[in-house]
Structure 1
Amino acid sequence: MKRIGVIGAMHQECEYYREQLSDTRHEQYLDIKITHGRHAGHDVCLLESGIGKVNATLATEWLARSFQPELIINTGSAGAIKGGARIGDFVFASQVCHHDVDVSPIGFAYGELPRLPVFYQVRKKWLNLLNEVANELNDVHHLGVIATGESFIYQQHQVELIRQRFPAVIACEMEAAAVAQVCHMHDIDFLILRNLSDVAGEDAQLNFMEYIEQAGRKSTELVLTLLAAISSD
């Protein structure tokens, strides 16, 4: 049995997951909805954080201090940047970065903050297990860099700028690097897995509204299967 934290930004990314937990109880921290429950023998704490890095930071810090999980999973939706990736595919982060951090004029790499790395690495043991689960489910998935920023990416020039700065990027969203940074500072393992609700720069805002519920449900199903696999492992 493990203590596992799960963070999703939006109601559509959390509601189905909330329904699948047993022995639930609820509380609230600021505007963050918190659900305690159990699944596959694990103690699970699900946080509906709200959109953006500040909300994700608050949620992750609350988990680190109040729940003390062994693993934090950040899940939900993302916009594809990798060529050939389609709505409904999964993206798994091997690394996460901030695509909107720039203190390069004073000697740092683009995306780097003082005393912190440009890229936050996901532990291979969790990635290997996640890949095994996705392969068993025949889910199409892509592995690479997921880039985080405080903007919804819907214009092609935004996509090209992110690609130019981070050539290995496969998707973008608005919370993952904040989750990873807090986990890094607390030495907590993390996983970032997202289902694609849109392709960044290609009618992204319209597709996002149409497919966000599908992305949330598919992400939840994968997380639930992963938790069962962690029990078996």
Structure 2
Amino acid sequence: MNRLAIVSAMESELRGLRDSLPQAQLVRRAGRDFWVGELGGHEVVLVRSLIGKVAAATTTAVLLEHFNVQVLLFTGVAGGLGQGVRIGDIVVADQLLQHDMDASPIFPRFEVPLYGTDRFGADAVLSRRLGSACEGVLAAIEAGTCAELSRAQLQACGVAQAPRVHHGLVLSGDRFVSTTAEAQALQADHPEALAVEMEGAALAQVCHDFGVPCAVMRTISDRADDTAHVDFNRFIDDVASRYTHAVVCAMLGAGG
């Protein structure tokens, strides 16, 4: 794999990977810390993008312009929207859409002005590879052979059933969706949407502009409604960051 950037909105989502790069070089650009190193024989750049679409777009542009990254992976948590998408599941994006984009009546609602589309695609080959790595990690957890995470640890974080991997549409917007009314409104506008977060569609648009492949992996931390997960930080530390470390190591053959 060419030089890979692994991006998360929050530092805690990358903690396991950062610990796996003890010799990484720190480069500061645009108010961000970029860690350049090697994992599983592959060149990688880790960075916390900060939260929201503008922050994600800035980070992506710097990665592509300054660090000559050829592949991007965004990973982190999201709220579940689709039927059957449960806490602890993983969503791998096929397409990404900005649910708060509205330049109507000049352009159709949700369409990105002058692009002629309301959504940007993740790279199909990279996403299949990512999905296979996710499936392998979840199978290892169920078999009790995953070094990162056990079934008991998942249950302690509110993951009641065996987690699954889903592929489909992910929504992004500069709003933390945490009420049933908001979630239902998004589901009405986008019935096929599986999850909602705050960065992925921006990263995908910048990657589209540069012609660089990207993939987005989201661990479901809550259902984006009135029952939203009460210990968000614990879920990131104990589940999402461990998923990320195990999945990326599986993709790169790093052995964890």
Instruction: Judge same fold: TM > 0.5, yes or no.
Output: yes
Aligned to 2:131: 131
- May I ask how many residue pairs the two structures share in their alignment? 228
Q: Report Cα offsets for 1:88-113 as digits up to 9, x if no partner.
A: 1111000001000011211x232212
Deviation, structure 1 residue 67:
1.3
The separation in 2 between residues aligned to 1:9 and 1:220, in whole angstroms, is: 15
Q: Deviations over 1:19-72 (max 9, x none)?
A: 112531112223312111101111101111111111111110000101122210
For residues 82 and 55 of structure 2, the distance between their equivalents in structure 1, rounded to whole angstroms, comes to 26
Identity of aligned residues (%): 31
Q: Which amino acid aligns with 1:226?
A: M
Q: Which stretches of structure 1, 4 residues or longer, exceed 4 Å deviation after superposition?
A: none
Counterpart position of 2:235: 211
Q: Which residue of 2 aligns with 1:186?
A: 210
Identify unmatched segments of 5+ residues in structure 1: none
8 Å CA contact 1:146, 1:172 repeated in 2: yes
User: What is the distance in 1 between the residues matched to 2:177 and 2:197?
Assistant: 8
Aligned partner of residue 147 in structure 1, secondary structure: strand
| Preserved CA contact (<8 Å) 2:14 2:244 | no
| 8 Å Cα contact 1:154-1:201 kept in structure 2 | yes
Higher strand content, 1 or 2: 1
Please say if 1:34 is aligned against 2:34. yes
Q: Is the 8 A contact 1:102 1:110 kept in 2?
A: yes
* Root-mean-square deviation (Å): 1.7
**AA paired with 1:150?**
D
In the alignment, which of 175, 179, 183 is matched to residue 199 of structure 2?
175
Rounded to whole Å, the distance in 2 between the matches of 1:35 and 1:209 is 23
Q: Tell me if 1:227 matches 2:252.
A: yes
Return the alpha-carbon distance in structure 2 between the equivalents of residues 36 and 189 of structure 1. 19
Q: Matches of 1:226 and 1:124 in 2, distance apart?
A: 15
Cα distance in 2, alignment partners of residues 32 and 55 from structure 1: 10
Distance 1:156 1:123 in 2: 32
1:146 aligns with 2:165: no
Q: 1:87 to 1:207 in 2, by over 3 A?
A: farther
**Do the aligned partners of 2:64 and 2:70 also contact (CA within 8 Å) in 1?**
no
Greater Cα offset, 119-128 or 153-162: 119-128
Report what 2:91 is aligned to.
Answer: 91
Q: Distance in 2 between matches of 1:26 and 1:206?
A: 34
Contact 1:197 1:207 in 2 (8 A): no
CA distance in 1, matches of 2:62, 2:252: 21
Deviation at 1:179, TM superposition (A): 0.5
Counterpart mapping for 1:33-182 below 5 A: 33-106=33-106, 108-116=107-115, 117-137=117-137, 138=139, 140-182=164-206
Letter in 2 for 1:186: F
Quote the offset at 1:147 in angstroms: 0.3
Give the aligned partner of residue 7 of structure 1: 7
Question: Hey, what's the Cα distance between the residues in 2 that align with 1:199 and 1:34?
Answer: 31
Q: Decide whether the 8 Å contact of 2:96 with 2:172 is kept in 1.
A: yes
State whether residues 110 and 165 of structure 1, in contact with CA within 8 Å, keep that contact through their aligned partners in structure 2. Answer: no
Unaligned runs of at least 5 residues, structure 2: 140-162
Letter of the structure 1 residue corresponding to residue 181 of structure 2:
H
How far is the alpha carbon of 1:194 from its aligned partner?
1.1
Hey, what's the Cα distance between the residues in 1 that align with 2:229 and 2:28?
Answer: 30
Cα separation, 2, equivalents of 1:158 and 1:109: 21
Q: For residues 208 and 76 of structure 2, what CA distance do their matches in structure 1 show?
A: 21
